[in-house]
Structure 1
Amino acid sequence: MAYDEISDLRFFTVLVEAGSISATARSMGTSPAVVSRRLSRLEERLGASLIVRTTRHFRPSETGRVLYERGVQIIADIDQLQNDLSIANTVPQGTLSIGAPVELGRRQIAPFIASFGERYPQLKISLALAGEGLHDFSDCLDVILRLGMPDTQGATVTLLATTRRVLCASPAYIARKTLPRTPQELIHHDCLCLRRHKTMTVLNRWAIGDDEKRDVITVPSRLSTTSCEIIHDWALAGQGIAYKLLCDVSQDIESGKLIRIFPDLYGEKTDLYAVMPPRHNASANVRTFLHALREFLHSSGGF
């Protein structure tokens, strides 16, 4: 199976699970127009309509349902195969360059790299942090960690873990305000919102719910920024409620610095991928690193 076909399968599973073009775009860190064009190209290539879209419904067609169900299994088999092959037969040595998003890199990946480096002292590891989606392979990186499905043509992509967004606030904020009893009551609270780089579009439509029902609430944005870390810092300082990836705030929730609001509900799902350069066979260093990182992430509280 060609990379483009695998990539299209991953894209379509994300689309079906997200439940809308706009939610898929947010999950992938792109625009609804890009998602719509990619869906159209996939339908054209397969010669079939995959999604039934009306003003009231968004669901896979019969062909789309078959593609989704078979695609989920195919992707799982591919990821398992890559996981099995990733176990290195030799001791890692030489150099390894990793790119990661800023907050995830600082809070999760950097501590892991420190312990991984102690296990393999002959390996010299460098970690480059940048805003989500800003890394590319002109940065001379062996592997890029990416939240949301990558769109790098020809790259080797493997799923590492899945996290979700949660609502959280500091004990100081909760002491000052009455906790929302329902997601709809978020409109009466101080909410800390991300903005897109360049366009400065505020991301204030927060999806929250369970496996059966999800509400999308347009929250008031009292403070907003393009930095995930600043949102985190504001939440710790008691400035309001944040809509954060669980992997970024799990340690603070465990320590009590932040408290989950609606602990039985979740926001949007986000996948963490490892991306290797196009037409590049992953080295033993990369395979061993990803195998160990996957185990670490699955044992941590945020994934």
Structure 2
Amino acid sequence: MPYDEISDLRFFTMLIEAGSVTAAARSMGTSPAVTSRRLSRMEERLGSSLVVRTTRHFRPTETGRVLYERGVQIVSDVDKLEDEIAQANQSPQGSLNIGAPVELGRRQIAPFIETFSEKYPKLSLSLALAGEGLHDSTDCLDVILRLGMPDTPGAIVTLLATTRRVLCAAPSYIERRSLPQTPHDLSKHDCLCLRRHKTMTVLNKWVIGDDEKKDIVTVHSRLSSTSCEIIHDWALSGRGIAYKLLCDVHHDIESGKLARIFPDLYGEKTDLYAVMPSRQHASVNVRTFLHELREFLRNTGGF
């Protein structure tokens, strides 16, 4: 659609919303005569009357009503497109507040933010860490990173990456207790289990298997905690077998501080989501951050 036609649509929607030629002229900073002539040129070009104008009435004709209703949407789409193009040419600046789970935030998000901040020196970044699921829409955050599908009314949710749980233990534990031969042997080992906040329910039913078969094993909770980080620390010190997200333990497995148990088998799949208030969805800061974080996670271990 040529630009002058877009301009005419914008003019016509303003005219109808103003309610009269005089009011429209006043809002557009022109005269009623100029406004009336422009309307007449539109009607002549379209070959149809658009407005009923008498001394008492000013209303769109049926054609004018259709043009107005469609025109409002077209003008809105054009404005949004122009805004997106303008923002795409901007560099992130100002501030960006990010929320993340404690362990993921420390081990993956914080290192990424360091590099990201060097690339965009005009952007001030803050990272808020909390237990999984404890951040919510009342916090002053632009982006909340969540493991597992969130239920946040009115928010924009986007999938960033997927990881899986794995079984791992320190070499010192394996040397002391030997490796389990089958998943069901886990019931004979010291296992490090998470507990739910408040209820203290122990999460001791571990799913482990491959694409064809999965076993659910009830393990003995030798030590347990509501903190993923404490479970991680106990695993590193040789206190037992942990059922951890691969993204959290990947570097320790690579360095030999932890060893995979049943390296061909995986536990439950977990998705990482970004949750944003709807007002932040189109922010250049948010869009750039999520685009580069997604690339970072794709190229790092554990996802």
* Structure 1, unpaired ranges of 5+: 1-83
In structure 2, the residue matched to 1:206 is 206
Q: CA RMSD in A?
A: 1.5
Closer/same/farther in 2, CA of residues 170 and 92 from structure 1, 3 Å limit: same
The CA distance in 2 between the partners of 1:157 and 1:187, in whole Å, is 38
Following TM superposition, by how much is the alpha carbon of 1:279 offset from its aligned partner in structure 2, in angstroms? 5.0
In structure 2, the residue matched to 1:229 is 229
Q: Secondary structure at the match of 2:249?
A: helix
In structure 1, the residue matched to 2:281 is 281
Q: Secondary structure at the match of 1:138?
A: coil
Render the CA deviation track for 1:43-82: whole Å, top value 9, x for unaligned.
xxxxxxxxxxxxxxxxxxxxxxxxxxxxxxxxxxxxxxxx
Closer/same/farther in 2, CA of residues 272 and 256 from structure 1, 3 Å limit: same
Following TM superposition, by how much is the alpha carbon of 1:280 offset from its aligned partner in structure 2, in angstroms? 4.2
In structure 1, the residue matched to 2:31 is none
In structure 2, the residue matched to 1:241 is 241
Q: Secondary structure at the match of 1:202?
A: coil
In structure 2, the residue matched to 1:265 is 265
What one-letter code is carried by the residue in structure 2 that aligns with 1:180? Answer: P
Is contact 1:208–1:266 with CA below 8 Å preserved after alignment? yes
Following TM superposition, by how much is the alpha carbon of 1:281 offset from its aligned partner in structure 2, in angstroms? 3.2
In structure 2, the residue matched to 1:110 is 110
- Out of 275-284 and 106-115, give the one that drifted further: 275-284
Bigger Rg, which one: 2
Render the CA deviation track for 1:27-57: whole Å, top value 9, x for unaligned.
xxxxxxxxxxxxxxxxxxxxxxxxxxxxxxx
What one-letter code is carried by the residue in structure 2 that aligns with 1:293? Answer: L
The CA distance in 2 between the partners of 1:88 and 1:97, in whole Å, is 20
What one-letter code is carried by the residue in structure 2 that aligns with 1:210? Answer: D
Q: Secondary structure at the match of 1:187?
A: helix
Higher RCO structure (Cα 8 Å, ≥6 apart):
1
The CA distance in 2 between the partners of 1:199 and 1:206, in whole Å, is 19
What one-letter code is carried by the residue in structure 1 that aligns with 2:151? Answer: D
The CA distance in 2 between the partners of 1:302 and 1:223, in whole Å, is 25
The CA distance in 2 between the partners of 1:255 and 1:134, in whole Å, is 32
Is contact 2:281–2:287 with CA below 8 Å preserved after alignment? no
Is contact 1:153–1:278 with CA below 8 Å preserved after alignment? no
Q: Secondary structure at the match of 2:109?
A: helix
Q: TM-score, structure 2 length as denominator?
A: 0.71
Give the percent of matched residue pairs that are identical in Structure 1 and Structure 2: 78
In structure 2, the residue matched to 1:152 is 152
The runs of at least 4 aligned residues of structure 1 exceeding 4 Å deviation read none
Render the CA deviation track for 1:250-270: whole Å, top value 9, x for unaligned.
000000000000000000000
Q: Secondary structure at the match of 2:281?
A: coil
The CA distance in 2 between the partners of 1:271 and 1:95, in whole Å, is 27
Q: Secondary structure at the match of 2:296?
A: helix
In structure 2, the residue matched to 1:253 is 253
The CA distance in 2 between the partners of 1:136 and 1:179, in whole Å, is 41
